[in-house]
């Protein structure tokens, strides 16, 4: 019982102290740009009403999820193709090296120019941002599969979809998940950028509108909401990762335990 209390105390201690310090230091703040924390909390419910959540947050999140799903699917598909062929990999490597080095935000103005301000552009922006980490990690994962296992598959004539599902994707999954995690944070960044740079709805748009209208406490509350969204998605991702990679943690613990 005390152990659990201790853990809760440790987990909540520092955040509570930090928030308390912020609360009291900012309590009498007259600075327009750094409003008291109490005021930010006070405007939160009236700013993020159900209506606003439906109008601004829901479109953002759905674009994010659609774009992210596309990015992961495309990244894994092309990653497996490129990772399996040695010649293809050598052929494409420098090209991919260049393309992935382009910071995705600089492509946003070009995409807006080509495809306009619509939902397609905004989703596309997210796909382009999230695609590269998944692709490159999948290529690495597929390339790094155990050769003995590969030969075993060949000996038993395990090929096609069965080989893909039970061997290639399975063996590469820790790396794929690493890529998917990086892609998630890039996707959120791209979502906000696409909304700041040209749109009429979305969380990023709402926050920038508050800033331009000098509604600073409302702006801060939006920053909190966006931060909360990032934290929530990261938590969901970790839960999914734990489920998918449970076998891998077992193997790794075994290998480490075997050393001593």
Partner 1 sequence: MTSPHTTTLSRAGRSPVLLGLAGLVTLAGLLEALPRSGVLPAEYLPPTSTILAALVEQFGRAEFWLALGLTLRTWLTGLAISLSAGLILGIVIGSVPALRAATASTIEFLRPIPSVALIPLAVVLYGSGMRATLLLVIYASFWQILLQVLHGVTDVDPLARETANSYRISRLRQARHLVWPTTLPYAMTGVRLSAAVALILTLTGELVIGTPGLGNEIANASGSIAIPAQYALVVVAGLTGVMANVVTRTAERKVLAWHPSVRKEVAV
Q: Which residues bind partner 1 (CB under 8 A)?
A: 10-15, 18, 33, 86-87, 90-95, 97-110, 112-114, 140, 144, 174-175, 178, 182, 185-186, 188-189, 192-193, 196-197, 204, 207-208, 210-211, 216, 219-220, 222-223, 226-227, 230-231, 233-234, 259-260
Neighbours of 190 (CB within 10 A): 29
Q: Do 125 and 108 touch, CB atoms closer than 8 A?
A: yes
Our CB check for partner 1 shows the closer of 15 and 45 to be 15
* Shorter beta-carbon distance to partner 1: residue 80 or 82: 82
Nearer to partner 1, 29 or 185 (CB): 185
Q: What is the smallest separation between the CB atom of 151 and partner 1, expressed in angstroms?
A: 12
> With respect to partner 1, which residue has the nearer C-beta, 38 or 105?
105
CB count in 10 Å sphere of residue 220: 23
Least distance (Å) between residue 257 CB and partner 1:
10
State the nearest-atom distance from the C-beta of 207 to partner 1, in Å: 5
Distance from C-alpha of 119 to C-alpha of 235, rounded to nearest angstrom: 27
**Cα(86)–Cα(198) distance, integer angstroms:** 42
Taking the least distance from each CB to partner 1, the nearer of 169 and 196 is: 196
CB-wise, 38 or 198, nearer to partner 1?
A: 198
Rounded to a whole number of angstroms, the minimum distance from the CB of residue 21 to partner 1 is 13
Cα separation, 244 vs 170, in Å, equals: 10
Tell me whether residue 43 or residue 197 sits nearer to partner 1 (CB atom). Answer: 197
State the angle between helix axes of 216-244 and 246-259 in degrees (0 to 180), rounded to the nearest 10: 70
Name which of 33, 13, 37 is nearest 25 in CA terms. 37
User: Helix or strand or coil: residue 201?
Assistant: coil
Report in angstroms how near the CB of residue 260 gets to partner 1 at its nearest.
Answer: 4
- Min separation Cβ 256 and partner 1, Å: 9
- Give the helix ranges, DSSP H, for the chain: 2-26, 37-47, 50-52, 58-84, 86-101, 108-115, 119-143, 147-155, 160-163, 169-197, 203-212, 216-244, 246-259
Q: CB 27 → partner 1: shortest distance, Å?
A: 19
């Amino acid at each position: 019982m005390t152990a659990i209390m201790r853990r809760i105390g440790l987990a909540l201690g520092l955040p509570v102290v930090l928030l308390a310090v912020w609360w009291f230091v900012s309590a009498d703040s007259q600075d327009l740009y750094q409003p008291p924390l109490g005021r930010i909390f006070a405007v939160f419910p009236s700013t993020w009403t159900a209506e606003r959540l439906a109008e601004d947050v829901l479109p953002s999140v759905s674009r994010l999820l659609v774009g992210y799903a596309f990015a992961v699917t495309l990244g894994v598909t092309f990653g497996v193709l490129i990772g399996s062929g040695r010649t293809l990999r050598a052929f494409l490597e420098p090209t991919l090296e260049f393309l992935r080095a382009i910071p995705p935000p600089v492509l946003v103005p070009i995409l807006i120019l080509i495809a306009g301000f619509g939902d397609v552009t905004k989703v596309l922006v997210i796909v382009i941002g999230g695609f590269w980490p998944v692709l490159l990690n999948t290529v690495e994962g597929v390339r790094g599969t155990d050769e003995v296992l590969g030969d075993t598959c060949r000996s038993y004539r395990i090929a096609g979809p069965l080989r893909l599902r039970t061997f290639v994707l399975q063996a590469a999954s820790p790396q794929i998940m690493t890529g998917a995690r990086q892609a998630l944070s890039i996707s959120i960044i791209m979502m906000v950028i696409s909304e700041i740079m040209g749109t009429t709805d979305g969380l990023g748009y709402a926050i920038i509108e508050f800033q331009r209208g000098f509604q600073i406490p409302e702006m801060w509350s939006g920053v909190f909401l966006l931060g909360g969204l990032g934290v929530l998605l990261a938590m969901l991702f970790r839960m999914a990762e734990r489920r998918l990679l449970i076998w891998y943690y077992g193997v790794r613990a075994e290998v480490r335990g075997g050393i001593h």
